[in-house]
Amino acid sequence: MTLRSFLAARILVLVLSGLISSQAAAARSAEPRVVKDPHYGEVLFYFYQQQYFTALSRLMTAQHFNQFQHHADEAELLRGGMLLSYGVHLEAGRIFERLIAQGAAPAVRNRAWFYLAKIRYQRGYVQEAEQALAQIEGKLPAELDEERQILHALLLMQRGEYRAAADLLKNVAGNSPWSRYGRYNLGVALVRAGETQPGIALLDQLGREPAQDEEMASLRDKVNVALGFSLLQADRAEEAKASLERVRLSGLMTNKALLGMGWAQLSLNRTERALVYWEELRQRGILDSAVQESMLAVPFALGKLGAYRQSLERYEEASRLYEQEMTQIDQSVAAIRAGKLSELLLRDDTSEEDGWFWTLEKLPDAPEARYLVQLMAGHDFQEALKNYRDLRFLIARLDQWAHDLPVYEDMLATRRAGFRERLPQSLTAARERDSAAHKEARDRLRDTLARIILDDDAEALANEREHDQGLRLARLERLLERQGSATDPDTVERVRLLRGLLTWDQAVAFPARRWEAQHSLQELDKVLDDTRSWREALSQARETMPREFDAFEARIQALTPRLRALQARARDLAVAQSAHLGELAVIELTAQRERLATYLTQVHFAVAQIYDQSASETKEAPAP
């Protein structure tokens, strides 16, 4: 993860960890957080899937319809964080200010202002960043306070207040990465404030320290190169050489270090050694300004050694390469002015909703892109490209929404037709289920059950098998009664026992059957009540649903011109942003062309001097 993406991640982590007191208290609690609003849970789902635009649009839609009953502040805070990640810092600042005013703790409030200041600085809003920093009261936590001081110093240095920046950076101590950035900027501030020797001493100390990772190694290389060229300008070539020798042979600053080593050796009258460094540098890519300068330095050194013919050949070679590069730059400028750059840079972009996390890390293989490496390292171009990318994504989303509107119209028409078709049938069914006959039958069942319970009539709740057995026993009892004295006594006794057993079984089962019958009657009452409510709801729907359909239709119709206006505005902004990107690129390429033109002019003067010197020596030579 790059430092830039790491800082971006901390912005949104801050949003979730909390800026308001309720969230801070929840963070200290060991109990898990419970999402009580389903719509807020949906927003968090998309957020954690890194689909930030979808999460933001769902969140704002839910806010519009007041669907956050339990997480309103948290949702608003999350909206502020996501707006901040898309660079909408003014609206995010208003959200943070409003939430902070509701009673955030001082420590939480300070963190909010700090992160707001940082995103404003990275977006290039220096004055607004200073205003946010000024809102911080007291000190931030140790892990953030060093970064805050460095940010404040950078803002001061941008306004040329190097003395104030140096005084502030003197408080940055320790061995953390931020402290090293602070000491580097302190050295630069001291030099620019006129305290050259203390600044150089600090940079020298920093340039000697071991580096634990690639980021710190790159910073150390940068320090040593800056220190080396400062010492060269002060005519301290030996010290400059020692500093430049500490630069790695494979790093971003290697070419500048090789160039500086050559000039240091030349200042020490070691011309042949200077040629060793410059010849190595000359073999590298001509797009680098150090390589371009080495093409002038090599023939210059050869001339000092008296190798005029070789010097002239190298000057002519440099002239040819300069002219070729200037021609290619002219072609690239023409392609950029034709509007090809922005689409070319995003040709291989497959991500969609990264927001602030997205950066272009690899240039496409195209002539007009190969000159923009230095430009790509700057915040201005990266932010401009990011804004264009977001606009392009927004245009695609708006086009999709506009395409979906007729689908919603068809869905609404289908629902309207289905409602009109099924409503009469549903009302008829509801009236039939809620008829007077059903109520009378329910009343009869209730009276019958009340009599059964009052009389403890267990036989009335007999099941089908018991009922059949009772009928059969009754027939036997009538038969035995007709036979009179001729009846077998054993048969009479067996029938009596069977009747008693049946009566016992019914009496034992009676309490459960009584409860079941009462429960069934309650369920019947509930069904009848639900039917009545259903019929009333249908009657109400007959009045309200047409108005709701009309309201949905009006919303869809109102969205159509709004979407068209947003589409037109987004396209206009994308065209303007693309033109801005092209202008930034053209400015960079023009500067490169002017540098090459300056070198070419120096080549022409150097060649003319060689010819003049050669002609002069020829005239002064004695006649044979």
Lowest mean pLDDT, pick from 106-115, 250-259, 345-354: 345-354
Tell which wins on pLDDT, 10 or 360: 360
What pLDDT does 466 receive? 83
What pLDDT does 564 receive? 92
Cα–Cα distance for residue pair 95/123, rounded to 1 Å: 18
What pLDDT does 23 receive? 39
Lowest mean pLDDT, pick from 98-107, 203-212, 427-436, 460-469: 427-436
pLDDT band at 568 (very low <50, low <70, confident <90, very high): very high
Q: What is the pLDDT of residues 171-199, one digit of tens each?
A: 765 566 667 777 777 777 877 777 778 88
Beta-carbon contacts of 112 under 8 Å, excluding residues fewer than 6 positions away, are 14, 19, 96, 99, 100, 104
Cα–Cα distance for residue pair 61/268, rounded to 1 Å: 71
Q: What is the pLDDT of residues 55-111, one digit of tens each?
A: 888 999 999 888 888 888 788 878 887 887 777 777 887 887 777 777 767 776 787
Tell which wins on pLDDT, 222 or 144: 222
Average pLDDT over residues 272-277: 91
CATH class (in words) of the domain with range 1-138: mainly alpha
- Letter string b/e over residues 535-552, b meaning 16 or more CB atoms within 10 A of that residue's CB: beebeeeeeebeeebeeb
Cα–Cα distance for residue pair 463/298, rounded to 1 Å: 115
Average pLDDT over residues 458-472: 84
Residue from 324, 293, 319, 315 nearest 611 by CA: 315
Tell which wins on pLDDT, 357 or 431: 431
Lowest mean pLDDT, pick from 118-122, 311-315, 324-328, 341-345: 341-345
pLDDT band at 299 (very low <50, low <70, confident <90, very high): very high
What pLDDT does 489 receive? 81
What does the radius of gyration of the chain's CA atoms come to, in whole angstroms? Answer: 44
Residue from 516, 538, 334 nearest 433 by CA: 538
Alpha-helical (H) ranges within 434-488 are: 436-455, 464-483
pLDDT band at 342 (very low <50, low <70, confident <90, very high): low
Kindly list the domain boundaries of the chain, sorted by start residue: 1-138, 383-620
623 pLDDT above the threshold of 70: no
Cα–Cα distance for residue pair 345/577, rounded to 1 Å: 14
Highest mean pLDDT among 155-169, 262-276, 527-541: 262-276
What predicted TM-score, i.e. pTM, was given to this entire model? 0.63
What pLDDT does 49 receive? 82
pLDDT band at 572 (very low <50, low <70, confident <90, very high): very high
What pLDDT does 549 receive? 82
Highest mean pLDDT among 167-171, 190-194, 256-260, 280-284: 256-260
Calculate the average pLDDT of the chain: 79
pLDDT band at 25 (very low <50, low <70, confident <90, very high): very low
162 pLDDT above the threshold of 60: yes
CA–CA distances in Å: residue 38 to residues 45, 362, 402, 427: 11, 40, 27, 33
What pLDDT does 429 receive? 65
Tell which wins on pLDDT, 282 or 32: 282
Question: For the chain, what percent of residues have pLDDT higher than 70?
Answer: 82
Residue from 538, 539, 470 nearest 503 by CA: 470
27 pLDDT above the threshold of 60: no
pLDDT band at 261 (very low <50, low <70, confident <90, very high): very high
8 pLDDT above the threshold of 80: no
What pLDDT does 360 receive? 52
Cα–Cα distance for residue pair 181/193, rounded to 1 Å: 18
Q: What is the pLDDT of residues 203-225, one digit of tens each?
A: 887 788 887 778 788 888 888 89
Average pLDDT over residues 487-491: 79
598 pLDDT above the threshold of 90: yes
What pLDDT does 320 receive? 93
359 pLDDT above the threshold of 60: no
Tell which wins on pLDDT, 432 or 141: 141
Nearest 10 degrees: Cα torsion 228, 231, 233, 237: -90
8 Å CB contact between 181 and 219: yes
pLDDT band at 621 (very low <50, low <70, confident <90, very high): very low
What pLDDT does 613 receive? 74
Cα–Cα distance for residue pair 468/166, rounded to 1 Å: 107
Lowest mean pLDDT, pick from 25-29, 74-78, 198-202: 25-29
How many residues are there in the chain?
624
